[in-house]
Structure 1
Amino acid sequence: IPNSIGSEIEKVCRGIYPLQNVNIRKVKVIKKPKFDVARLMEMHGESYSSVTVGENGQVVERADGYEPPVQSSV
């Protein structure tokens, strides 16, 4: 497995900087924590049950009716 990881790193980095003979000594697998929406809302002072959002999201009121200009290109 370490050899396949090294060759995969070489392939991905080829566009940025050409790497050769990549060796992996140690791999640490980091697990992402469970995401709890109710706890997040509790931490920010809003109860989850009081927030109702439709399928398209929630309308945001802009200060002083400000709307950013539409750009023709990015």
Structure 2
Amino acid sequence: MSLRYNLPGYRKIESGDAMSDLTEDEIIDLVHDITKTICEKKGYVISPSKADVKLVLTAMGLIKQAITNLEKIA
């Protein structure tokens, strides 16, 4: 099964695409749309904004980098 995701104004994203092939804006839009859809299906009134998504993704990247740095030291 192939997942296709077509963002308005962006190229079509396929399930086989590597995340490294996507731009930062494409990743933020993709994650934002997915979380918004999940919130709507769960019946939540509020969903995260794109700024919230960017903040979380940035924090995740910083945590991953910190773990990588600690592994190099150990």
TM-score, normalised on structure 2? 0.30
TM-score, normalised on structure 1? 0.30
- Larger strand proportion of the pair: 2
Larger radius of gyration: 1
- Larger helix proportion of the pair: 2
